[in-house]
Amino acid sequence: MSVFIHGGQILGPNGVERADVLVTGSSIVGTGLDLPVPGNARHIDAAGCYVMPGLVDLHAHLREPGTEEAETIETGARGAALGGYTAVVAMPNTTPTIDSPSLVRDVLAIAEGALCEVVPAAAMTVGREGQLLTPMGELARMGVRIFTDDGRGVQDPALMRSIMEYATGLEAITGGAPVVLAQHCEIEALSAGGHMHEGEWSTRLGIGGQPSESETLMMLRDIALARRTGAHIHFQHVSTGEGVEIIRQAKADGVKVTAEVTTHHFTLTDEACSSYDPVFKVHPPLRTAADVDAIRAGLADGTIDCIATDHAPHEPHTKEFPFDQAPPGMLGLESALALALTELDLPIERVSELMSSNPAAIAGIGDRHGNPVEAGQRANLVVVDAESEWTIRGTAMASRSHNTPYEGRTVKGKVRFTVLDGELTVDDGVATR
Ligand code: DOR
C-alpha cells in the first residue's frame, strides 16, 4: 500500500521545501516533484500544508492501569494522533505505579494497535514513594530509557545521588543509549498547602501558594548532582523564569541537562485562577506574565529543548470540586501544536525541533521518530494546515475527560492527516479507528 502526499511544503533535510512525498509500506520511499506514483496509491492533497515529522510528547498521563474512567491508552493515543503525535511517553503515576518489568510489559501489550506509539516511562522509586530504587537495570534491559516519579520529585538528595550513579552505569546495558532521569521539580516542604503560584494573585484570592523556589531549589540540587555523577537529568514542565536561567547557565557549564515546558506554561498565567475554576489548577502551577515571557525566550534561544503536553485527564466531576480539593492537571494532546503555532512567533523548523526531533532523541526513539522528511526514513508524519482556524472544545476531544483550560479559544493550525508507520491514523481531521 502506498500513500502519495502531494502539493505540500515538506520539512526535509534542507529545511522547508515544496515537494511531494511517496510512502510505501512503513517507509518514505521518495520526496520531490514528478515522483513515479503507483496506480493504487492513496492520494492526499496537502496544498497549503506542512508535511512534518510526526510529533513526540515526552509527557502524557494515559491513566491506564487504574483510572480508566478518565483516560485509557486507546483514547489517549487517539487524542495524540488527532493532535499530530506519532509517539507519546506514558507517565508511570498510574495505579499501580509502573515500577516493574511486568507492568511495562502490560502497558506495551495494551498499546499494541493504538493510534500512536506508546513509550512507557518507569518510576525511579518503588510506588513513587521516594524510598527505594526500582529495578532500573532490568527495566533498562527491556528497553526503558526514561525514569521518572512524575507527579512527585525525589525529595531525598542522597537517594537522588544514588539514582544518578546507578543510571550512569546502565549505559553498559543499553549499549551506550542514554538513560534519562526526568525530574518533577518540587520540594514538597515548600509547596505543601499550596494550590496555585504563590504571589499577588494567591494572596488576593486567599488560595494557598506554591513558591517558585519549590521548583528552582530542586533544579539547583539536581544540577549539582548531575555535575558530580555525569547523569542526564531532564527537567519536566519548567514553570519559572528563574528555572529557565538556571538551565541556561547549567548548559553553558556543560552539565548534561535537558528541559521541557508545557503549552499551558507559555500561554496562561496565575491570573486565570481568579475565576476559582479548578480547570486552571495544575502542578507546577501557572505562574506570572514575567515567567511566561522568560519561558518563551528560552524556547526561542535553545535553552528549552522540548514542548511537552503534561496531558493530565481528570474525570469531569473531580474538576467540579472546590479549587483546593480538585486534582491538578489539564488536557494537552489535542491542542498543543495549534497553541504553539498560534502563540509562539517561531519558525516552523524550530517548532518541529521542539515538538518532534528533540523529544524523540531524549526518549531514545530517534531511529523512527523526529527525522527529516526524506527517502529512507520511517513514515511517521503529520500534515498540518498552519493557517486553518478552529475553536477548542473539550467535549469534541477524543479524550475521556474534558478538562481543557482553552475552552472556546480560537487557534490556528489544524492537523489534517497523521501517518504512523505508513498507515493513516488521522484522515482529513478524523481518527481512522
Ligand atoms: O498537574 C499535574 N497533574 N501535574 C503532575 O505532575 C501530575 C499530573 C497528573 O497526574 O494529574
Distance 279 CA to ligand 1 centre (A): 12
The model carries a pTM of 0.98
Specify the ligand 1 atom closest to the Cα of 150: 6
Q: What is the DSSP string of 379-397?
A: --EEEEEEEEEEE--GGGS
Specify the ligand 1 atom closest to the Cα of 313: 11
Q: Please tell me if the CB atom of residue 150 comes closer than 6 angstroms to any atom of ligand 1.
A: yes
Q: Please tell me if the CB atom of residue 61 comes closer than 6 angstroms to any atom of ligand 1.
A: yes
Distance 314 CA to ligand 1 centre (A): 10
Specify the ligand 1 atom closest to the Cα of 314: 11
Per-residue model confidence (pLDDT) at position 355: 99
Distance 407 CA to ligand 1 centre (A): 19
Query: Contact, 50 vs 386, CB < 8 A?
Result: yes
Nearest 5°: the CA angle 59, 264, 430 is 70
**pLDDT tens, position by position, for the chain (433 residues)?**
899 999 999 999 999 999 999 999 999 999 999 999 999 999 999 999 999 999 999 999 999 999 999 999 999 999 999 999 999 999 999 999 999 999 999 999 999 999 999 999 999 999 999 999 999 999 999 999 999 999 999 999 999 999 999 999 998 999 988 899 999 999 999 999 999 999 999 999 999 999 999 999 999 999 999 999 999 999 999 999 999 999 999 999 999 999 999 999 999 999 999 999 999 999 999 999 999 999 999 999 999 999 999 999 999 999 999 999 999 999 999 999 999 999 999 999 999 999 999 999 999 999 999 999 999 999 999 999 999 999 999 999 999 999 999 999 999 999 999 999 999 999 999 999 9
Query: Contact, 5 vs 23, CB < 8 A?
Result: yes
Distance 312 CA to ligand 1 centre (A): 6
- Give nearest CA residue, ligand 1 atom 6: 151
- Give nearest CA residue, ligand 1 atom 4: 283
Distance 48 CA to ligand 1 centre (A): 37
Q: Please tell me if the CB atom of residue 184 comes closer than 6 angstroms to any atom of ligand 1.
A: yes
Instruction: Please identify which of the residues 293, 310, 367, 427 carries the catalytic annotation.
Output: 310
Distance 106 CA to ligand 1 centre (A): 22
Distance CA 274, CA 202 (A): 9
Query: Contact, 163 vs 260, CB < 8 A?
Result: no
Distance CA 58, CA 153 (A): 17
> Grid coordinates standing for 280?
486552571
Distance CA 21, CA 79 (A): 25
- Give nearest CA residue, ligand 1 atom 3: 329
Q: Please tell me if the CB atom of residue 93 comes closer than 6 angstroms to any atom of ligand 1.
A: yes
φ/ψ (deg, to 5) at 91: -75, 145
Q: Please tell me if the CB atom of residue 282 comes closer than 6 angstroms to any atom of ligand 1.
A: yes
Query: Contact, 90 vs 77, CB < 8 A?
Result: no
Which residue out of 128, 154, 283 has the highest number of ligand 1 atoms within 8 Å of its CB and is therefore the one to mutate? 283
Domains for the chain: give ranges and CATH numbers: 55-363 (3.20.20.140)
Per-residue model confidence (pLDDT) at position 176: 87
Distance 290 CA to ligand 1 centre (A): 23
367 is catalytic: no
Query: Contact, 62 vs 312, CB < 8 A?
Result: no
Torsion of CA 432, 374, 258, 288, to 10 degrees: -60
Per-residue model confidence (pLDDT) at position 412: 98
Distance CA 344, CA 331 (A): 19
Specify the ligand 1 atom closest to the Cα of 328: 1
Which residue out of 89, 93, 235, 315 has the highest number of ligand 1 atoms within 8 Å of its CB and is therefore the one to mutate? 93
Q: Please tell me if the CB atom of residue 279 comes closer than 6 angstroms to any atom of ligand 1.
A: no
Query: Contact, 313 vs 71, CB < 8 A?
Result: yes
Q: Please tell me if the CB atom of residue 328 comes closer than 6 angstroms to any atom of ligand 1.
A: yes
Listed in sequence order, the residues at least 6 apart from 143 whose beta carbon sits closer than 8 Å to its beta carbon are: none
Distance 267 CA to ligand 1 centre (A): 18
Specify the ligand 1 atom closest to the Cα of 61: 10
Distance CA 424, CA 433 (A): 10
If DSSP states are collapsed to H, E and C, what string results for 136-184? HHHHHHCCCCEEECCCCCCCCHHHHHHHHHHHHHHHHCCCCCCCEEEEC
